Amino acid sequence: MATETDQPTRQRVARSILVNGPSTAAALAERLELTPAAVRRHLDQLLAEGQVVARDPRPVGSRGRGRPAKVFALTERGRDAFDQQYDDLATEALRFLAETGGDEAVRAFAERRASFIEKRFPAVQHDHPEASPAQVLAMVFSDEGYAAAVRQLPVVGEQLCQQHCPVSHVAHEFPQLCEAETEAIGRVLGTHVQRLATIAHGDGVCTTCIPSTKKEQVTS
pLDDT tens digit string along 84-101? 556 778 899 999 999 999
Q: Which DSSP state fits 51?
A: S
Residue 219 above 50 pLDDT? no
Confidence at residue 94, expressed as pLDDT on a 0 to 100 scale: 95
Query: CB–CB of 35/2 below 8 Å?
Result: no
Query: CB–CB of 32/16 below 8 Å?
Result: yes
Residue 102, CA distances (Å) to 33, 48, 114, 176, 182 in order: 52, 43, 19, 12, 21
Query: CB–CB of 48/41 below 8 Å?
Result: no
Confidence at residue 215, expressed as pLDDT on a 0 to 100 scale: 43
pLDDT tens sequence across 142-194: 999 898 999 988 877 899 999 888 888 899 999 999 999 999 999 999 999 99
Mean pLDDT of the chain: 86
- DSSP string for residues in 88-142: HHHHHHHHHHHHHHHHHHHHHHHHHHTHHHHHHHHHHHHH-TTS-HHHHHHHHHH
Confidence at residue 65, expressed as pLDDT on a 0 to 100 scale: 57
Query: CB–CB of 174/110 below 8 Å?
Result: yes
Mean pLDDT score, 199-212: 87
Which among 71, 101, 102, 79 is positioned nearest to 170, based on CA atoms? 79
pTM of the model: 0.64
- Ordered by where they begin, the domains of the chain are 4-80 (1.10.10.10), 87-211 (no CATH)
